[in-house]
Amino acid sequence: MATGAVQAGVTSGTGERAGGGAWLRRFAWAVVVYNVLVIVWGAVVRATGSGAGCGDHWPLCNGQVVPLNPRVATMIEFTHRMMSGGTLVLIVALVVWVFRGTVERHLARTFAVAGLLLTLNEAVLGALLVKLGLTATSTSPLRPPMLALHLSNTLLLLGALALTAHFLGRRATVVRGAVRLEHRLPALTGLLAAMAIGVTGSLAALGDTLFPSTSLRSALAADFSSSAEWLVRLRILHPASAVVAGAFILWLLWRAVFVSRDGERPDGSIRRLGLWLAGLLGFQFLLGGLDVLLRAPVWMQVLHLAGADAFWCVLVVLTATVTVIAMERPHPSGLREQDS
């Protein structure tokens, strides 16, 4: 659903597509979808308390390449590790294909390389979580900041991959030195606001996992109780930040996508992307409310996170669509391409 939405915003401009062909663009979006699946399965690992399924061994699982007679928790954690390894293979393949299929200094190359570096950093952060014992039922004070850092890196990785696919689909040439940036400050602020929602959401989910409530009433009481665990009391930050940041993102969306400028209305594809974004934001608020009412069952946490990933991808692509504007690329001889 989200992939179809973001693809609607990449057909503006004139001329031939500057990417490396239809199959490369499809592969790039497939890598994005695969990474969403990896992220969602990571939520299953956390929500089921399976983070210690492979012990404190990394990259081995309980000291073995392939665990023998594994427990359910071991299978859940080992599956996540195998999926993460597949991410690295796919992104290396994407980088190679992007460099072979695009022109020099193409922005897709920049974000594909960024995706590879962030993937390596993701592996380091994951290894630290395991080696430091910040998994399963750990209530270490170090776990929340490490989890926040891990999720921030994950969002940046997913954003880099979405931008790689987006710029491969642009009709106008997008190379470094031949683009101009518009609305930079509000765009960056909107992305940071969305990341804040994600980070506080991960902390709230961790609190729900480590300290489950027996009823909705007790859960709400614990949020404001001075005797409750500090991680439980942090849960209120997520709905509070979601309301504030969500309202701000909707305001930016209205200003950038639906307000006429210089007598011209925004492109239709951009407006469709904006409607998708607004719809996904509303859907997230609905899921968040159900998550509270149902006291955060695993399946709801997974669905909520999947929706958040879709919202993030659409937001990143829409931001790039309205801020990164391709200009006519000068010919190496000094003449513009159309004059040479």
What does the DSSP assignment read for 14-47?
SSS--SS-HHHHHHHHHHHHHHHHHHHHHHHHHH
Q: How far apart are CA 28 and CA 267, in angstroms?
A: 25
127 lies in a domain? yes
Smallest CA-to-CA distance from 238 within 214, 216, 279, 208 is with: 208
Residue 152 neighbours by CB distance under 10 Å:
16
Q: How far apart are CA 158 and CA 114, in angstroms?
A: 10
Length of the chain: 340
Read off the tokens for 214: 């027996």
Interval 206-235 mean pLDDT:
83
Is residue 108 pLDDT above 80, yes or no? yes
Q: How far apart are CA 120 and CA 123, in angstroms?
A: 5
**Domain encompassing residue 206:** 2-326
Q: Tell me how far the alpha carbon of residue 332 is from its chain's centroid.
A: 37
246 lies in a domain? yes
Contact at 8 Å (CB) between 35 and 158?
A: yes
Is residue 335 pLDDT above 80, yes or no? no
Q: How far apart are CA 208 and CA 285, in angstroms?
A: 18
Contact at 8 Å (CB) between 322 and 169?
A: no
47 lies in a domain? yes
Q: How far apart are CA 283 and CA 301, in angstroms?
A: 14
Span 258-281, pLDDT tens digits: 775 555 666 777 888 888 999 999
Read off the tokens for 136: 């399963």
Which spans in the chain are helix H?
Answer: 2-7, 22-47, 72-101, 107-131, 143-168, 184-210, 216-223, 230-233, 237-253, 268-293, 298-323
Span 149-161, pLDDT tens digits: 999 999 999 999 9
334 lies in a domain? no
331 lies in a domain? no
pTM for the whole thing?
Answer: 0.84
Q: How far apart are CA 304 and CA 290, in angstroms?
A: 9
Most confident of 17-26, 68-77, 202-211, 308-317: 308-317
Is residue 340 pLDDT above 60, yes or no? no
176 lies in a domain? yes
221 lies in a domain? yes
Q: Tell me how far the alpha carbon of residue 298 is from its chain's centroid.
A: 20
The pLDDT-based confidence of 123 (bands split at 50, 70, 90) is very high
Is residue 330 pLDDT above 70, yes or no? no
337 lies in a domain? no
How many distinct structural domains can be found in the chain? 1
The reported pLDDT for the residue numbered 10 is 41
Which spans in 256-326 are helix H?
Answer: 268-293, 298-323
Smallest CA-to-CA distance from 237 within 270, 198, 268, 287 is with: 198
Which H or E element spans position 141?
none
Query: 61-70, 104-113, 114-123: lowest mean pLDDT where?
Result: 61-70
